Amino acid sequence: MIVILKPNIDSDSREFRRLESHVRNLQNIEMRVHKVTGAEQVLTEIYLIGNTAALSLDEMKSFPGVDHVVRISEEYRVLGRHKDDHRPNNFTYNGVNFSQDNLNIFAGLCAVDSPASVEAMMKALQEHGQVCTRMGAYKPRTSAYSFQGHGKNCLQYVFELAGKYGIKVISMEVTHESHVDEINEALAETGTPTGVMLQIGTRNTQNFELLKIVGRQQEFPVLLKRGFGITLDESLHAAEYLASEGNQKVIFGLRGMKTNIGDPHRNIVDFAHIPVVKRLTRMPVCIDPSHSVGSRSRGGDKILDIMHITAQGVIAGANMILVDFHPDPSRALVDGPQALRMDELHPFLEDVRIVRAAFKQRLRLFNENTV
């Protein structure tokens, strides 16, 4: 059961203490308190865990300071959708809204290789009105001998260039607790010219200790990639690890599944799960067409597979796109074969615009005709 307090009633208030002392006297009920800080207000949510079947909704609702009460029916307690659950499906970070109802594009470098590449990328993004990007500094690689990113050595120039070109959010994978500290330090040293979305890669989806650490901090939102070899349910439970530690600013990323059935693509595309994740949870859903397809292949229609697959995700209601670009893919240190070129940024964005408009038309069609 979730008891949601009226806006700005917090754990120091009389209302909260009265409710707390009531709950403490209940048998076999544990209480966890979450603060959800929005742009205009702070919401306090009290999660009651244990034998809550015996609790009366009306009784809990009758306490002063209580806004509403939700009986949890599904397993994803914090991020899931439950009956009569009106908790939001969006959050704002550094001025950018992330929601199940909108779409943000994160085109950028799979891995930061040089200041020149970062600058070329960010300049092109600004020219195309983009305020988000992806920039990998810490790269988990299959081979221990491959380039693993410039790590903290590139953070300062990445953040400074982001500030220079008006980039508000950079998605950046972290594979260790120390990376979060390094990002924090570099942001502080550069005067916080931009924001960072911490990315948990598919190899770490079930790295529960990392999830707990990233879930405990509430400064940065988190993009959790689905595990490439586990069920959707297992990956959604992993997202719940983040939220249960306090961070509800979570985006769920689909990036293809590892199976030879996906050949000749790098992974089999799983974007059919976009509506499923949106139905089961309140998380905005990201798609990563680059790591799904893994190449610049195109067919007789001249459309790159990456663009076809992006369109498939957008037409199904994706809320975020993470896509690899590089000023010179042949010289990229990581994943050059799947990177789009700068002259492909305009057609990419235009294609997304067309398909997003079609998705909105579909929404109107089905919502107007629903009885």
The owner of tokens 């997304």 is: 352
Task: By CB under 6 A, tell whether 270 contacts ligand PEP.
Answer: no
# chain residues binding Mn ion, by CB under 5 A:
2
Could you give the residue ranges of the DSSP H alpha helices within the chain?
A: 14-24, 57-61, 115-127, 155-164, 177-189, 208-216, 232-244, 274-280, 289-293, 305-315, 345-368
Task: By CB under 6 A, tell whether 356 contacts ligand PEP.
Answer: no
Of these partners, ligand PEP, Mn ion, none, which one is at the site of residue 265 (CB under 5 to 8 Å by kind)? none
Rounded to a whole number of angstroms, the minimum distance from the CB of residue 335 to Mn ion is 4
Of these partners, Mn ion, ligand PEP, none, which one is at the site of residue 284 (CB under 5 to 8 Å by kind)? none
Rounded to a whole number of angstroms, the minimum distance from the CB of residue 26 to ligand PEP is 42
Two tokens, residue 44: 């306090």
- Residue 160 or 335 with smaller CB distance to Mn ion: 335
> According to CB under 6 A, which one of 136, 221, 289, 294 is a site residue for ligand PEP?
136
Q: Which residue is nearest to ligand PEP (CB)?
A: 201
> What are the C-alpha distances in Å from 197 to residues 91, 174, 219, 222, 245?
13, 10, 9, 5, 17
- Residue 182 or 335 with smaller CB distance to Mn ion: 335
> According to CB under 5 A, which one of 288, 335, 344, 351 is a site residue for Mn ion?
335
Of these partners, ligand PEP, Mn ion, none, which one is at the site of residue 201 (CB under 5 to 8 Å by kind)? ligand PEP
Task: By CB under 6 A, tell whether 291 contacts ligand PEP.
Answer: yes
Q: Which helix (DSSP H) or strand (DSSP E) does residue 270 occupy?
A: none
- Residue 72 or 222 with smaller CB distance to ligand PEP: 222
> According to CB under 6 A, which one of 72, 107, 110, 112 is a site residue for ligand PEP?
110
Q: By the 8 A CB rule, do 307 and 341 touch? A: no
Omega before 264 cis (within 30°)? Answer: yes
Distance CA 97, CA 105 (A): 12
> According to CB under 6 A, which one of 202, 281, 312, 319 is a site residue for ligand PEP?
202
- Residue 52 or 207 with smaller CB distance to ligand PEP: 207
Q: Which residues contact residue 129 at a Cβ distance below 8 angstroms, ignoring those fewer than 6 apart? A: none
The owner of tokens 């949106």 is: 278
Cα–Cα–Cα angle for 78, 289, 87, rounded to 5 degrees: 20
Of these partners, ligand PEP, Mn ion, none, which one is at the site of residue 255 (CB under 5 to 8 Å by kind)? ligand PEP
Number of CB atoms found within 10 A of residue 33's CB: 15
Q: By the 8 A CB rule, do 41 and 7 touch? A: yes
Q: Where in 117-176 is the site for Mn ion (CB under 5 A)? A: none
Given its phi and psi angles, is residue 180 left (phi above 0), alpha (psi -120 to 50 degrees) or beta? alpha
- Residue 110 or 269 with smaller CB distance to Mn ion: 110
Residues binding ligand PEP (CB under 6 A): 110, 136, 173, 201-202, 225, 255, 288, 291
| Residues that bind Mn ion in the complex, under the rule CB under 5 A | 110, 335
